[in-house]
Amino acid sequence: MPWEPNLSYRSELVRQYNQAMKAVAEAEKLKFVDLFNLLPPEYIRTLADGVHPDAAGHAMIFNLVKDVLK
């Protein structure tokens, strides 16, 4: 399936799923890395197929996760 640049990976369903995961993590006293809200807008340019990050995108994710897990 070709990438549709007019579609957003930040859809309302993804936002709702993110909120649900955050609520479960808080209820279970688990750390939660809120990538949905933490990744900068330029992150979308690292999505070669519109969904999966390239090396630069993975580096952004790594740095956010690393900071939370310190």
DSSP secondary structure letters along 38-64:
HS-GGGGGGBTTSSSB-HHHHHHHHHH
Does the pLDDT at position 60 exceed 90? yes
Whether 50 is covered by a domain: the verdict is: yes
- pLDDT tens profile 3-53: 666 665 567 888 899 999 999 999 999 999 999 888 888 888 888 787 889
Whether 68 is covered by a domain: the verdict is: yes
What's the structural domain count of the chain?
Answer: 1
Per-residue confidence band for 1, with pLDDT thresholds at 50, 70 and 90:
low
CA–CA dist 47, 53 (Å, integer): 4
Whether 1 is covered by a domain: the verdict is: no
